[in-house]
Homo-oligomer: A and B are copies of this chain.
Amino acid sequence: MSLRYALLALLNVEPMTGYDLYKQFESSVGYVWHAPDSQIYPELRRMERDGLLEGEEVAWGTKGRKRQYHVTDAGREAFRTWVNTQLDYPRERDPMHLKAAYLEWADPDAARSQLLAHAEHYGARLLQWQQKIQEIDGGTSDMLNRRLATFPSADHSRVAAFKRFTYEGLTARAESEIAWAQRGLALLDELYPEDSSGTAAT
């Protein structure tokens, strides 16, 4: 259900085509919420059917056509309702932590490489999110600047602050996951001292 609101959030800034939105999901918003094109196009149609968006066929080249969507009043209202409404939290479901609970079944090397991969996964995300924070601070975020243009300047600090706040949360989470993976690697060295391949070779 969040896909709908992620799309509304982007279209609140300016009208876009499905493909424009898809690219956003591959970069900026995609770092918080991902969706593939095969989910975006049908959802846009449904949102139009539900009156949240209006689509307009636009010529593209000589024979090409594309469909540009803009948010309706009902769409803006639905978005405002969403931001004001309490989420319900799904029950816990985390594959890596589930697996970690049974790591005594694993090869020490396989366990090591998975914890390393865990740290690397979140390391990569950490970099992306930190970069986003730098873009916000430096005023070089394209999307944020366009979003700011839709707000009176008195609200600009808020808009930027909440965006920064979001990425701060994600970086904190990434750091916590990395620290956890590293504690896991240390634990493996402790529990299987005979072969500490990769960690303290020689």
Contacting B at CB under 8 A, from A73-117, are 79-80, 82-87, 89, 91-107, 110-111, 113-114, 117
Partner of A106, one of B83, B170, B191: B83
Are A101 and B32 CB-contacts (below 8 A) given A106-B83, A114-B86? yes
Please determine whether B91 and A87 come into contact, CB atoms closer than 8 angstroms.
no
Q: With CB as the reference atom, state the residue of chain B lying closest to A89.
A: B121
The stretch among A40-48, A50-58, A59-67, A155-163 that forms the contact with chain B is: A155-163
Distance, CA A86 to CA B109, complexed state (A): 12
Q: List 30 A-B contacts (CB under 8 A).
A: A2-B98, A5-B99, A9-B102, A29-B98, A30-B91, A31-B92, A32-B98, A33-B93, A34-B91, A34-B92, A82-B99, A83-B105, A83-B110, A83-B111, A84-B107, A85-B110, A86-B114, A87-B96, A87-B99, A92-B125, A94-B170, A98-B166, A102-B162, A103-B162, A162-B187, A165-B183, A165-B184, A169-B177, A173-B176, A176-B176
